[in-house]
Amino acid sequence: MDPRIREHASLLVHDALEVEEGDDVIVKAAPVAEDLVVAVFEALGDVGANPVAQYTNRGGRAIRAYLRAHDGEFETPDHEMALVEEADAHIHIRADANVTETSDVDPEQNSAFQQAQRPILNERLTDDWTLTQYPAPANAQLAEMSTEAYENFVWDAVNKDWDEQEEFQAQMVEILDGAEEVRIVSGDTTDVTMRVADNPTLNDTCSHNVPGGEVFTAPQPDSVEGEVLFDKPVYQQGREVLDARLVFEDGEVVEHSASKNEDVLTEILNTDDGARRLGELGIGMNRDIDRFTYNMLFDEKMGDTVHMAVGRAYEATVGEGNEQNESAVHVDMIVDMSEDSRIEVDGEVVQRDGTFRFEDGFEE
């Protein structure tokens, strides 16, 4: 077995989670991720935890067949709920045999199923949990990479010195935590400002997402003004939205367009009121993620990018007394900041063309 798989497993069990003897753990994975499941089981055996391995119910052949055959009246299964209620920790390993496996499932059918699964997801979120990616060939294909190159990409992004990364990111957290207002400028297509005053900034390293590598906070929902062109594709339910452009007034999207699949963008924005406002501003700081791979777990942490999400804000990023944006959706979209771009905080440039104020080579 590739030694990087054991390193990956150890990070999940000992760093992202801190699994202890006697902990009841659920490992959710697709068959194609078996190598990492084996390494995780080894690590769990070593600490004396109790694993149950469950097939993921997203995206595989079995769930496709199930969803196509079902009449659509889904319920929340009692036995799965009982399993999750009694569990202490959750390791969710993403990997696909075919990323378009559910492309011929009626999206409404899928959405009704996910709705019925929602209480189980919510219950899981009350425990320790971590989400990661195994570099399966189909995921390499989505990233337009060879399997070996994609393996290198994934494990470079995952198996790193997370203490060092945390310190690096903490410098940006410190800047944002005291800030009132953030302005993002890129070329002549993006110039947007938002208030973040009193909203905490989180330092995401090796915890709920492996890899981590972003710092993120919530804009105040009514405060966003300006326009943004998202350079990177938005990949939603198997469809790619290109050149998504949003114009904000008083926090609300008042104009939008896209060069491809604009209707998908419209659909997202029309989900509910909160879907037309920002719920997150994130700064990607994992420089081992140096390319876009159509996988938000990696893309949003890419070095030299920022992302904004329309929809739901994370509770932990909303300060006491501030409004939390509510929505059924949370869709991240990415702006490339590597050229002709800057992040300003309270009028001071803190990043220019991807280089932070606290790094060598920064030019104010």
Query: Residue 54 or 324: which CB sits closer to its own copies?
Result: 54
| Minimum gap (Å) between residue 99 Cβ and its own copies | 17
Amino acid at 265: L
| Minimum gap (Å) between residue 77 Cβ and its own copies | 4
| Minimum gap (Å) between residue 66 Cβ and its own copies | 4
Query: Residue 50 or 324: which CB sits closer to its own copies?
Result: 50
Alpha-carbon gap, residue 75 to 95, rounded angstroms: 26
| Minimum gap (Å) between residue 114 Cβ and its own copies | 14
Query: Residue 105 or 313: which CB sits closer to its own copies?
Result: 105
| Minimum gap (Å) between residue 53 Cβ and its own copies | 4
Concatenated DSSP letters of 181-228: EEEEEETTTEEEEEE-TT---EEESSSSEES--EEEE---TT--EEEE
Given a contact cutoff of 8 angstroms between Cβ atoms, the answer to whether 86 and 58 are in contact is: no
Query: Residue 48 or 238: which CB sits closer to its own copies?
Result: 48
Angle between helices 78-86 and 107-125 (to 10 degrees): 30
Given a contact cutoff of 8 angstroms between Cβ atoms, the answer to whether 8 and 36 are in contact is: yes
Report the interface residues with its own copies, using CB under 8 A: 22, 24, 26, 31, 34, 37-46, 48, 50-55, 57, 61-63, 65-71, 73, 75, 77-88
Helices (H), the chain: 3-10, 34-47, 61-69, 78-86, 107-125, 137-142, 147-158, 162-177, 262-269, 296-299
Given a contact cutoff of 8 angstroms between Cβ atoms, the answer to whether 52 and 44 are in contact is: no
Query: Residue 88 or 174: which CB sits closer to its own copies?
Result: 88
Query: Residue 31 or 303: which CB sits closer to its own copies?
Result: 31
Alpha-carbon gap, residue 296 to 234, rounded angstroms: 9
| Minimum gap (Å) between residue 69 Cβ and its own copies | 3
